[in-house]
Amino acid sequence: MRRAYEEPEPDDGLRVLVDRLWPRGVSKEAAHVDEWPKGLTPSTELRRWFHGGGTYEEFRHRYETELEAPEAAELLDGLRKAARRGRLTLLTASKTPERSHAQVLLELLER
């Protein structure tokens, strides 16, 4: 997992942007994003709730529930398959990636 603002590294492998919104100030060329599965990102409502003062633990629970929806579950399964084939880097613009949806995804992929 890396911040989308960091320079790409040669060993990043498949670079997947896991944010619903494109990172501000980052050009598509500079980001070197291979995939952008918007259906895997938290809903706008959940994102607003979390940034409005919701707890990380409750956010995590609600997000994992959202990931059980058919489209999100299929996209998550696709990421799992990609991770088994080679290196996968999750990209996020979050200032605290370790307490974001990207961390939840990372942990789910590591299971």
Q: What is the pLDDT of residue 86?
A: 94
In the block, tokens 């942990």 appear at 107
Please answer whether residues 109 and 79 qualify as being in contact, where contact means their C-beta atoms are separated by less than 8 angstroms: yes
Distance of CA 33 to the CA centre of its chain: 12
- C-alpha distances (whole Å) from 84 to each of 31, 32, 38, 78, 81 are 23, 21, 21, 10, 5
Q: Residue 30: phi, psi to the nearest 5?
A: -70, -30
Q: What is the pLDDT of residue 111?
A: 84
Averaged in consecutive runs of 10 residues, what is the pLDDT profile of the chain (111 residues)?
95 96 94 96 96 96 97 96 95 95 95 84
